[in-house]
Amino acid sequence: NAGVTQTPKFRVLKTGQSMTLLCAQDMNHEYMYWYRQDPGMGLRLIHYSVGEGTTAKGEVPDGYNVSRLKKQNFLLGLESAAPSQTSVYFCASSYVYNEQFFGPGTRLTVL
């Protein structure tokens, strides 16, 4: 089992460019999440999904969109990247809201 995988691992964008981060899990989990980690800020929830076709906003959703077309995939989109979105992004999945399994992260820099 690969667990939770994230693509890409690193990315550099220019302000205004768009991109999509892909998260995939092979544990048949219903719940999936996108977090960002910034120095001194811990893990902040961007968006999450409680099942295929559903999405919900987390603590810091502005500037991001998500889609969960398949149970095993959760996509995070940035339509017009800003320097404030420079961060490390983590995807996670779980059966219920408790124990979450995290991916290795995507380091994004917006110039």
How far is it, in rounded angstroms, from Cα 16 to Cα 3? 32
Q: Which is nearer to another protein, 79 or 97 (CB)?
A: 97
3-state class (DSSP) for residue 29:
coil
How far is it, in rounded angstroms, from Cα 9 to Cα 7? 6
Interaction of residue 99 with another protein, rule CB under 8 A = yes
Interaction of residue 48 with another protein, rule CB under 8 A = yes
Of 92, 93, 108, 110, the residue at the interface with another protein (CB under 8 A) is: 92
Interaction of residue 60 with another protein, rule CB under 8 A = no
Selection from 79, 84, 17 nearest residue 44 by Cα: 84
The binding site for another protein (CB under 8 A) comprises 4, 33, 40-45, 48, 58, 90, 92, 97-105
